């Protein structure tokens, strides 16, 4: 193996496999990693698509549960007010009945003293009735408001329910659309990973997760396409001469992937 002390050549066993002359000879290590990255990017994109839909459904389910509880509280409040309204209406009716009865009696009273007592009783009943009427009017106003609130909650619940239903359908469709692709990618990934030594795979995965899903960066015109920095010419020469070895970008630490045909096509 060409021994270089170039600082950006990956140290240790990352480059060892090619020396052993193992079966995988069609692709260089970096080509396998570039392919692995294409698979991983597809997996990542599809997984995020499903997860974001799932998150949206969960969020809607949570608000629906909360809104339902609020709607129930509003309904209970309305029921309690309605019970009170009926109770008051009965009281008002009872007083009206009593007043009617007293009015009938008044016509039969002969004696002044009894008349005075009966008239005072009527005054008291009138006061009581007027207090109850005022209370009833107030209560009816509150019942009206509470009814409106319950209606608003119900309208909100129905909108939210429809939204949840359409999100759940979208999730189902997304799962159906990308599910097969995910299984396929996973199988392809297992296959590719089998040809990459453990330490190199770990390094690749670490960079992939820390560098926004881009671990293998193309080199074009002597520039790293991961971070757009110019590579030192000496490193670029080494990459061109040692296609079987793995080199890291000195500024972003990504694994560098140079292919002459792509470099030319780009110009």
Nearer to Zn ion, 46 or 238 (CB): 238
Nearer to Zn ion by Cβ, of 150 and 226: the residue is 226
Strand, helix or coil for residue 36: helix
Distance separating alpha carbons of residues 200 and 213, to the nearest angstrom: 16
CB of 228 to Zn ion, least distance (A): 7
Residue 249 binds Zn ion, judged by CB under 5 A: yes
* Complex with Zn ion: residue 74 or 215, whichever CB lies closer: 215
- By CB under 5 A, residue 227 contacts Zn ion: yes
Of the candidate residues 88, 224, 231, 239, the single one contacting Zn ion (CB under 5 A): 224
Among 161, 205, 252, 259, binds Zn ion (CB under 5 A): 252
Contact 204, 253 (CB under 8 A): no
Among positions 65-84, residues that touch Zn ion (CB under 5 A) are none
- Alpha-carbon span 76 to 109, nearest angstrom: 50
Which stretch in 127-135, 185-193, 207-215, 224-232 sits in contact with Zn ion by CB under 5 A?
224-232
Q: Can residue 215 be called a binding residue for Zn ion (CB under 5 A)?
A: no
Q: What are phi and psi of 218, to 5 degrees?
A: -70, 150
Which region among 34-42, 99-107, 118-126, 220-228 touches Zn ion (by CB under 5 A)? 220-228
* Distance of closest approach, residue 248 Cβ to Zn ion, in angstroms: 8
How near is the Cβ of 214 to Zn ion at its closest, in Å?
9
Question: Is the Cβ of residue 118 or residue 252 nearer to Zn ion in the bound state?
Answer: 252
Minimum distance from CB of 226 to Zn ion (Å)? 4
Q: What are phi and psi of 219, to 5 degrees?
A: -105, 125
Binding mask 166-205 for Zn ion (x = CB under 5 A): ----------------------------------------
Residues 6+ positions from 239 with CB-CB distance below 8 Å: 219, 231, 247, 256, 258
Binding part of the chain for Zn ion, among 37-45, 83-91, 230-238, 251-259 by CB under 5 A, reads 251-259
Buried residues in 89-110 as b, exposed as e (16+ CB within 10 A): eeebeebeeebeeeeeeeeeee
CB 211 within 8 A of CB 252: yes
Task: Give the span between the Cα atoms of 35 and 43, in whole angstroms.
Answer: 12
Alpha-carbon torsion (141, 147, 153, 159), positive or negative: negative
Tokens representing 227 are 């971070």
Instruction: Tell me if 226 contacts Zn ion by CB under 5 A.
Output: yes
DSSP lists the bridge partners of residue 9 as: 247
- Cβ closest to Zn ion, residue 153 vs residue 247: 247
Beta bridge partners of 223: 220, 230
| Total binding residues toward Zn ion, as defined by CB under 5 A | 6
Summarize as ranges the residues that interact with Zn ion (CB under 5 A).
Answer: 224, 226-227, 249, 251-252
């Amino acid at each position: 193996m060409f021994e270089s002390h170039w600082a950006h050549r990956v140290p240790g066993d990352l480059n060892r496999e090619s020396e052993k002359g193992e079966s995988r000879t069609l692709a260089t290590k970096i080509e396998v990693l570039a392919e692995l990255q294409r698979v991983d990017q597809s997996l990542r994109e599809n997984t995020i698509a499903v997860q974001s839909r799932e998150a949206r459904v969960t969020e809607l389910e949570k608000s629906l549960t909360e809104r339902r509880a609020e709607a129930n509280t509003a309904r209970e409040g309305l029921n309690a007010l309605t019970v009170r309204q009926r109770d008051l209406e009965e009281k008002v009716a009872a007083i009206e009945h009593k007043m009617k009865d007293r009015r009938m009696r008044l016509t039969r009273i002969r004696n002044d003293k009894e008349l005075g007592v009966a008239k005072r009783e009527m005054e008291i009943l009138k006061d009581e009735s007027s207090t109850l009427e005022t209370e009833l009017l107030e209560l009816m106003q509150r019942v009206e408001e509470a009814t409106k609130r319950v209606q608003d909650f119900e309208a909100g619940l129905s909108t939210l329910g429809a939204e949840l239903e359409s999100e759940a359908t979208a999730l189902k469709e997304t799962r159906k659309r990308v599910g097969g692709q995910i299984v396929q990618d996973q199988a392809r990934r297992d296959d590719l990973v089998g040809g990459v030594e453990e330490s190199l795979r770990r390094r690749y995965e670490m960079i992939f997760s820390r560098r926004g899903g881009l671990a293998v960066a193309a080199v074009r015109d002597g520039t790293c396409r991961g971070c757009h920095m110019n590579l030192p010419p000496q490193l670029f020469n080494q990459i061109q001469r040692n296609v079987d070895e793995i080199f890291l970008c000195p500024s972003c630490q990504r694994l560098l992937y140079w292919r002459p045909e792509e470099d030319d096509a780009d110009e």
